[in-house]
Copies of this chain bind each other. A is one copy, B any other.
Amino acid sequence: MKIALDAMGGDHGPAPCIEGAMQAAKELDVEVILVGDETTLQRECARLGATDGRLSIRHAPQVVEMHESPAAVARKKRDSSIWIATELVKHGEASAVVSPGNTGASMVSSFFVLGLTKGVERPAIATSLPTLTGEAIMLDVGANVDCSAKHLEQFALMGNEYGKHLFRKPNPRVGLLSIGEEDSKGNEVTKEAFKLLKASTLNFIGNVEGREVYSGTADVVVCDGFIGNVALKISEGVAETIKKLLIKEISSSWLGRLAYPLIAAPLLNLKRKIDYAEFGGAPLLGVNGITIICHGRSSAKAIKNAIRRAKGMAEGRVHELIQRDIEETIASPSPVEPSA
């Protein structure tokens, strides 16, 4: 299986991408097509000793910068590494595309090059979150800011297929992010979505509160992209703040400084557990192919994990299963009474 990797998009240049691809080729039985400026990639590969025959380079003359808008990418950057990497999937030369670059550029490339899955109104980005009991999926975390109840229902269907694949569970627990567990709690959109989900064939466990997201109550947490993105960034903010305050507290007492070497390893383990970069990236669901979006700061290990996820999702034909579910729902919609 071949995976197309946008090797130019990350914050730290091509090196983590090339190293991640080397590890993936060695450990995961995949071929990786590094897409980007040929001269740069050849030079970096030589420098890093990337001589593995399972790596190849595909030239792309343009690069998308982090600040560029999706609209500008669609208009002017059709020779960029992300766009050309996505075209490799479209033309069957690769089974999936992985990018640590500009999220909007990944979205717009997949939207235009691969196209929306038939019946899907909006694609969604599904991220993985660490929980007390393992891992949960949250979607959408940023592709769509103003969503209808119908959009949330589709996110639930897409998240469900992704959850089945990721957790190897036949019926992942699907929850709706809201402000109370009771059916009646929420804003207008979530209350309407609650009815649709309750009437669906999903294993819908009802509303989940923000507090429960990290306790592992649900396998799949559904929300609109505005709230999902705020929730994700708030989580990072809290984790970052706690870390800084903890280090400050510990180093402000001599007993703490004495203890620090002893707890350094547990702290590092904890960091790994809550570091979503380690989780293998976030797929864009609802397009005709497998697209994995990674953080711009991705390490080589994070890139390898994203390639692993891309491979698994391509093998599992997750995008085709999503299409089947969406088509079935459109053919026989949830029997929900119109709201007053």
Query: Which residues of A are in contact with B by a Cβ distance under 8 Å?
Result: 130-132, 142, 145-146, 177-179, 186-188, 190, 209-215, 223, 225-227, 229-242, 244-246, 249-250, 252-253, 255-256, 258-260, 262-263, 265-267, 269-270, 273-274
Contacts and interface: CB of A to CB of B under 8 A. Distances in A.
B229 A179 contact: yes
A242 B213 contact: no
Given A210-B229, A274-B242, A256 B263 contact: yes
B234 A210 contact: yes
Contacts of A179: 142, 145, 225-226, 229-230, 233
A287 B13 CA distance: 54
Contacts of A236: 210-211
A233 B256 CA distance: 30
Name which of A132, A225, A266 has the most chain B CB atoms within 10 A of its CB: A266
Given A146-B188, A237-B215, A238-B235, A262 B258 contact: yes
Contacts of A188: 145-146
Nearest 8 Cβ contacts at the A-B interface: A210-B233, A259-B262, A249-B266, A210-B234, A259-B259, A214-B237, A214-B241, A145-B187
B132 A245 contact: yes
B237 A239 contact: no
A190 B86 CA distance: 33
Copy number in this complex?
2
Contacts of A246: 266-267, 270
A210 B187 CA distance: 20
Contacts of A234: 210-211, 213-214, 231, 234-235, 238
Nearest to A272: B249
Contact of A146 (B131, B187, B240, B242): B187
Nearest to A274: B242
Contacts of A255: 262-263, 265
Given A230-B231, A241-B274, 16 more contacts: A132-B245, A145-B179, A179-B226, A179-B233, A209-B230, A210-B229, A210-B235, A210-B236, A211-B233, A214-B238, A215-B237, A234-B238, A238-B239, A246-B267, A249-B267, A255-B265
A168 B48 CA distance: 56
A270 B242 contact: yes
A188 to B, nearest CB: 5
